[in-house]
Amino acid sequence: MTSRILLQLCALLVLLYSKSAAATSDSKPGKCSLEHFQSQTRDLKRFDSGDLSKYQQVAAKLEPCLDETHRDLLLFNNEIHYKMGLIHLSMGNDMKAIKSFEGLQSLGDSYYNLSKTRLSDLYVEFGLWLKLKELIPEDDTGEIFESLNKTLYEKINDPDKLSTIDDELVPMLNISPYDLDTLTIRADFLFHKLFTTKTLNDITSAYEIVRIYDVILEKHKIALTLDQRIEIHYTAALLQLLILNSEPTLHLRKCLAIDMDYKPCKDLSLLVSRLNKINPSRSQLFDTQSYALGSNVDWKKVSDYYLSKKRENIVNYQWINNKITELVNSNTDLLITNRPVTKGLFKFNPETPLVDDAANFSFFRFIDIIVCEASMQLTHTNDPDKKKNKKAADHFCKKALKLTLNDDEWNQFMDAMNKKETQLPDEFTTNLWNTYPTLATYMVEKIISRKNFRGGNEHLQTHIIKFFQDNELFGAENPVIKAQASVIKQVFEKKQKLDQQRQRQQQQQHQQQQFNFFQQFANGQHGQQQQYQQRAPPQQPGHNPDKDYYKILGVAKDANTKDIRKAYLNLTKKYHPDKQGSLSEDEQKKVHEKMSEINEAYEFLSDDSKRNEYDQGRAGGRPGGQNQGFNFQGQGNPFPFGNMRRGF
Ligand SMILES: *[C@@H]1O[C@H](CO)[C@@H](O)[C@H](O)[C@H]1NC(C)=O
Ligand SMILES: *[C@@H]1O[C@H](CO)[C@@H](O)[C@H](O)[C@H]1NC(C)=O
Ligand SMILES: *[C@@H]1O[C@H](CO)[C@@H](O)[C@H](O)[C@H]1NC(C)=O
Ligand SMILES: *[C@@H]1O[C@H](CO)[C@@H](O)[C@H](O)[C@H]1NC(C)=O
């Protein structure tokens, strides 16, 4: 009896010993045991880069142990690769995520199934059709894409049809937003548009090109050569500075970080830093809150730098113009013939200089606005040249304002100043304020100085008072706005008294029908919550709450993103005019309209926040985003594709 117990005890001891040996050393017996590997990953759950490197180590050690006889290890290997894939995704390294997910073996386990779903989404997003077919033979997304691609290339080779290639590019990028070829072709096409139409201030195209370049840099970084990356940074910076009126510092910094001596970036950088020594920052000018707060910019210095003694023209205008013209024209090669990662599909004539007058770039509107602002500010200080400053403000502010408003809007402004009974549309001034606070301030300055305003155009008074209240400008510290506020307050109080008087009279006359301006005013404000979104130019075209996007896509109101995407693919297949040639012109037009409608519906339903806004708009909450804000000249209306969000 006792000897058997002893024997068992011995066996147990041996077992324990060998187990602990396996856990503490890499000696042979434990090296390929599941417990051994599991113990190394047990505490990992942070899903960050630290965990990633640990998983990678384990995966590397696991590799030599993998064979058919160790199903437990194969399963564990799947788990590890799936988790690595998720971490790569969360860090935005989609290409590396694909590699990790491809490391799983088909064992019918849930990790494999999960990663198969991820992988198929990624293959579609990146346009990896052969791999998709291998993974899921019955998936025909690739065929839809290829048929669009076929039409696309036919159009590229037919100058008459070139202008409509967005009909293919937009759905292609809706299906595969990261397909490098398609992204590149669209950037190329937009460049073509930008430079052949000679509208150097086509904000929408420029914005879209920069966006595409950012996507390419983010998603295909490893596939790009250093030269390509430098060129993309330079081109993006140039577009940001000249057309988009935004700070190009980030792209310039990244460009110079790759090659400190790259001349185009160096030259551009010098110009930017030289002007930045004089110019106020963009946030001081364009961020409404900072603007209302006022700044400690030395406006006298700004004015002295830009304006001649008589303050009638910009002295450095020509210098800046020449500098920019030279900068663009000396890099014609880069911008036209060898655009970054170009497919070289669109032919230009590089013989002629790209730009003969850089003043057409919207960058010069930025300078006009700076000069306008400086002159306006100086009229509200004790600067002795009040008259000259005022004249300069009028000249430069008006010039910029005229370029910003379209003809209708300009006429409305003129009428508001001159005609007694004109009304400005509700959001007119606020929209301008959200885009160019300087110009809205100038507009208010002009309006309130008119007899028309003080003398009792009540619509106008209400409009301006509401503008000040909505944007909380009665407490602004900006000296120009402060001065305006005191004038407007007087008008407000006078109006208040008048309204009270009237009210008393009315009350006496008919007790029932009382007209209370303030009450009406307060109600008006509540019913129409102000939207304070800082609109970056170019504004996103708004949804149309009158259209039923769900019906257009044929999905239920509570459809999830996947259903919406499926329905979109389905409709793309159905309506894509692959057989365009055989359709009459009328039919082609109808198909085109249908497809635009489908694209629009997809744009808003595929993006959670846009979908939310649309749903609210339909529910009768806020008015839709349409017609808010000002049209920028030269802005076409391509239907930008919504970006697909994958749940993570
Ligand atoms: C994985 O998918 C296969 C095929 O669709 C299925 O048979 C299997 O049950 C799934 N495994 C798990 C764990 O869900
Ligand atoms: C698109 O068409 C071009 C030209 O026919 C071809 O070279 C390219 O491989 C096609 N791309 C896809 C994804 O089908
Ligand atoms: C620049 O603008 C002027 C006048 O607005 C126009 O005549 C000229 O063609 C434009 N040049 C370019 C290159 O756009
Ligand atoms: C796809 O379209 C066909 C007809 O065109 C329709 O019968 C089918 O239900 C649609 N599928 C989806 C997922 O919308």
pLDDT per position as a tens digit, 339-357: 777 777 777 666 666 777 7
Output the six-digit token pair for 590.
Answer: 């109808």
Residue 271: left if φ>0, alpha if ψ -120 to 50, beta else—which one?
A: alpha
The CA distance from 639 to 434, in Å, is 23
Q: Which class for 424: exposed (0-12), middle (13-18), buried (19 or more C-beta within 10 A)?
A: buried
Kindly state the percentage of the chain with pLDDT values over 90.
41
For 59-102, write each residue's pLDDT tens digit.
Answer: 999 988 888 888 889 999 999 999 999 999 998 899 999 999 99
Q: What is the mean pLDDT of residues 16-38?
A: 58
**At residue 362, what are phi and psi to the nearest 5 degrees?**
-70, -10
**At residue 314, what are phi and psi to the nearest 5 degrees?**
-90, 115
The CA distance from 462 to 187, in Å, is 46
Contact in structure between 291 and 282 (CB atoms under 8 Å):
no
Q: What length is written for the chain? A: 648
* CB of 109 shorter than 6 A to ligand 1: yes
- At 311, the pLDDT band (50, 70, 90 cuts) reads confident
Q: What is the mean pLDDT of residues 630-645?
A: 34
Protein residue whose Cα sits closest to atom 4 of ligand 2 = 153
∠ CA 415-420-423, nearest 5°, is: 60
**182 CB-side CA count, 13 A:** 27
- At 535, the pLDDT band (50, 70, 90 cuts) reads very low
Sole residue written with tokens 């082609």: 588
For 547-564, write each residue's pLDDT tens digit.
Answer: 899 999 999 999 998 899
Q: What is the mean pLDDT of residues 430-454?
A: 90
pLDDT of residue 648: 30
* CB of 357 shorter than 6 A to ligand 3: yes
For 242-253, write each residue's pLDDT tens digit.
Answer: 888 888 999 999
Give SS3 for 531.
coil
Q: Which ligand is nearest to the CA of 555?
A: 4
The CA distance from 592 to 263, in Å, is 45
Give SS3 for 307.
strand
Beta partners for residue 307, in sequence order: 314
The CA distance from 390 to 484, in Å, is 15
Omega of the bond prior to 384 within 30 degrees of 0, cis? no
∠ CA 281-287-289, nearest 5°, is: 120
Ligand 1 probe mutation, 75, 112, 113, most atoms within 8 A of CB: 113
- Ligand 4: which residues within 6 Å by Cβ? 566-567, 570, 574
Does pLDDT of 214 surpass 90?
yes
CA 165, 171, 174, 177 torsion-angle sign: negative
* CB of 114 shorter than 6 A to ligand 1: no
Contact in structure between 141 and 124 (CB atoms under 8 Å):
yes
Mean pLDDT of the chain: 81
Q: Which class for 43: exposed (0-12), middle (13-18), buried (19 or more C-beta within 10 A)?
A: exposed
Atom of ligand 2 nearest to the CA of 127: 13
Q: What is the mean pLDDT of residues 460-470?
A: 91
Ligand 2 probe mutation, 149, 173, 176, most atoms within 8 A of CB: 149
| Amino acid identity at 313 | N
> Which residues fall within 8 angstroms of residue 178, CB to CB, at 6 or more apart?
94, 125, 126, 127, 215, 219, 220
Least confident interval from 11-15, 416-420, 431-435 = 11-15
Residues 134-142: contacts with CB within 8 Å, 24+ apart? Answer: 140/573, 141/175, 141/569
| Amino acid identity at 32 | C
Protein residue whose Cα sits closest to atom 6 of ligand 3 = 360
Does pLDDT of 619 surpass 50?
yes
Atom of ligand 3 nearest to the CA of 360: 1
Contact in structure between 335 and 267 (CB atoms under 8 Å):
no
Q: Report CA(149)–ligand 2 centroid distance (Å).
A: 6
Q: Report CA(168)–ligand 2 centroid distance (Å).
A: 13
Does pLDDT of 7 surpass 80?
no
∠ CA 581-583-586, nearest 5°, is: 125
Residue 314 is given by DSSP the state B
- Ligand 2: which residues within 6 Å by Cβ? 127, 146, 149, 153
The CA distance from 512 to 532, in Å, is 37
| Amino acid identity at 311 | R
Does pLDDT of 29 surpass 50?
no
Q: Which ligand is nearest to the CA of 147?
A: 2
* CB of 353 shorter than 6 A to ligand 3: no
